Structure 1
Amino acid sequence: MFRFLEYLLIAGYIAVLLVISHWIGQQAESWMPLQATAEAKKVDDLFSFLVSIGAFILLGLVGMMLYSVLFFRASKDDYSEGHPSRGDVRLEILWTATPTLLVLWIAFQSFNIYQQLDILGLAQIVHLHMPLESEPADAALVSDVPKPASETIDVFAKQWEWSFRYPNNVTSNELHLKVDRSTRLNLHAQDVIHGFYVPEFRLKQDIIPKRDIDIVLTPTRTGKYKLKDSQFSGTYFALMEADIYVESLKAYNQWLVQVASEPTTVVKNQAVAEHIQAPKTLFKSGWYTVAPTPRAVANKRKVSNDT
């Protein structure tokens, strides 16, 4: 009878753990920045599941330790060894198979989400470094099936600025996207490796020189966001930011027509402003620093560094 009550207590504790862990996992989504793309929901769902699993394991282990301390304390004069669990085949199978299956499931879900983001161009890099004798030279290119998108915007990254070219050849230092419409971004690095990172989009993609990388995203929330460089690309990489505007189709078309009618102008580059300032340190490090790129010319009117 006592053994049955013990099993019943353990089952009740596990049920409570499942409820609490699920609740903690649901709360974890609020720890992240706002979801601004359809793809962000998939990433947050996986993060929520991982937090739930972690909470279940943590609370379960703490509960087992407290239960052992309260009900299985050895007396002061008891120096005997406990029951050996190393030779228990059932336990060995349980704690080997369970983590293995869990890790494989997480890996599958992560790969599935990555595939849904529809990032093209990376397979070509793997193909160049690991060629297969039985595979044709253009096999990686054939396997890339582009995801439908309303339009394609070219994204250019260089030390240390972003620029964006739209289908009507308008060039801007701001990225404008249509809400609820899929847009293909064709990423180009013109010097070193950069990183396209927008926290609200749950997107962080390396941009590799001499390699065009396409990524399709679907913004779902209007507003203003910040694009950052997630890769250390030199002295001023922390200043390499750009504004992203997600807006309605009408507002997007109005902006595109407006900037197309404006004359091109020199845009502000914060890295240049920092570079021309006198150093504020007492000692020079002597480290080699790449001079910031000359200020770009774009249709979007901005204040230049000379004003």
Structure 2
Amino acid sequence: MPRFLEYLLIAGYIAVLLVVSHWIGQCAYNWMPVEATEEAQKVDSLFSFLTSIGAFIVLGLLGMMVYSVLFFRAPKNDYSEGHPSRGDIRLEILWTAAPTLLVLWIAFQGFNIYQQLNILGLGQIVHLHTPLELEAPAYASDDKPKPSAETIDVFVKQWDWSFRYPNNVISNELHLPVNLRTRLNLQAKDVLHSFYVPEFRLQQYIVPGRDIDLVVTPTRTGEYKLKDALFSGTYFALLEANVYIESPQQYNQWLSKVQREPASMKNQAVAEYMQPPKTMFKSNWYTVAPEQSAIAEERKVMNDT
């Protein structure tokens, strides 16, 4: 094959490869749960970019192998060794520089995406409550609280989620107004937990003794599920809560309704614990007995005060 046609074939394959890789990267958006926040859109963009890069590398290597088999096949009964590549300075530079540039490019893209997330209010602010800093929580040196339209306290323990809204409205459901930044103040009362909503693309550890602020901007109304992404004991699978993203009008109506008529709270872990064992023999494994609902505790404290 003439050298010109060989180069033309390689250039054409690279062009097709770029188009196909970009298409695969766009398809990657459908592999994830629906995007329910602005933060999810940025994370999915990064995932799509990495998928495109991976598809380009895999298809490129596959094409190179097929090309070598078709055009550089050894003749029959030819058992001689091929041209040695060792000592070729150009090849050494190529396979050292190419991965290095690729990794730096991916790192830059990731840094750029997370910088945008910070602009959208994803910055995590950790308050270290030490005996000397009870009155003034310590923020990171360059961190400042991002503006938000609403602040909701999130409490988690074995095995119960509870949420405190403005005007001391308490519920075991997380309600968020759509298209408004909401600050979530995460607090664990016993062990490590993790705030995780797949549609938010956010997974934040909650450390006992620390208040961790997380700002989210919901963009899609609907019902979702809050999970604990860290194993916390026997009833870990039951540590879930319903998340509702709704219009600001519906959100305010729900707040008013709960404030007038507090809903009864059910804890699935308590129900499971109270059931008689279904096995013939007891395991005698240590199990943390589910306590009174955190919401009931909060209401009791409020009534006492």
For the aligned pair, the TM-score class normalised by the smaller chain equals 0.7 to 0.9
What is residue 163 of structure 2 aligned with on the other side? Answer: 164
2:219 corresponds to 1:216? no
Contact 1:171–1:298 under 8 Å retained in 2: no
Q: Could you report, residue by residue, the CA deviation over 1:52-82 in whole angstroms, capped at 9, with x for unpaired residues?
A: 1111111111111112222222234222222
Number of the residue aligned with 1:75: 75
1:25 aligns with 2:33: no
Give 1:10-89 correspondences, 5 Å limit: 10-89=10-89
Aligned partner letter, 1:269: N
CA positional deviation for 1:98: 2.4
Cα deviation for residue 123 of structure 1 reads 9.0
What is the distance in 1 between the residues matched to 2:76 and 2:279? 64
Corresponding residue of 1:133: none
Q: Residue in 1 aligned with 2:104?
A: 104
Deviates most, 87-96 or 35-44: 87-96
Asked whether the equivalents of residues 172 and 298 of structure 1 are also in contact (C-alpha less than 8 Å), the reply is no
Q: What percentage of residue pairs aligned between the two structures are identical?
A: 72
Q: Distance in 2 between matches of 1:276 and 1:114?
A: 45
Structure 2 unaligned runs (5+)? 130-136, 298-305
Corresponding residue of 2:203: 204
- Contact 1:188/1:210 (<8 A) preserved: yes
Question: What secondary structure is seen at the aligned counterpart in 1 of 2:167?
Answer: coil
Segments of 4+ in structure 1 off by > 4 A? Answer: 122-125
Q: Given the superposition, is the C-alpha separation of residues 108 and 188 from structure 1 closer, same or farther in structure 2, using an over 3 Å criterion?
A: farther
Task: Rate the CA distance shift 1:165–1:86 in 2: closer, same or farther, 3 A.
Answer: farther
1:179 corresponds in structure 2 to 178
Partner of 1:132: none
SS, match of residue 228 in structure 1: strand
Report the 3-state secondary structure (helix = DSSP H, G, I; strand = E; otherwise coil) of the residue aligned with 1:152.
strand
Aligned to 2:231: 232
Contact 2:193/2:207 (8 A) holds in 1: yes
C-alpha change, 1:108 and 1:214, in structure 2 (3 Å) is farther
Q: CA deviation at 1:143?
A: 2.0
Task: Quote the offset at 1:103 in angstroms.
Answer: 2.2
- 2:24 is paired with a residue whose SS is helix
Q: CA RMSD in A?
A: 2.2
Mapped contact 1:24–1:52 kept (Cα < 8 A):
yes
Matching residue of 1:2: 2
What displacement does 1:122 show? 4.8
Per the alignment, residue 258 of structure 1 pairs with 257
How far is the alpha carbon of 1:112 from its aligned partner?
Answer: 4.1
* Whole-angstrom CA distance in 1 between matches of 2:50 and 2:262: 51
Q: Return the offset for 1:139.
A: 8.1
- Show CA shifts across 1:95-145 (max 9, x none): 2222223223333433444452533235969xxxxxxxxxxxx98533221
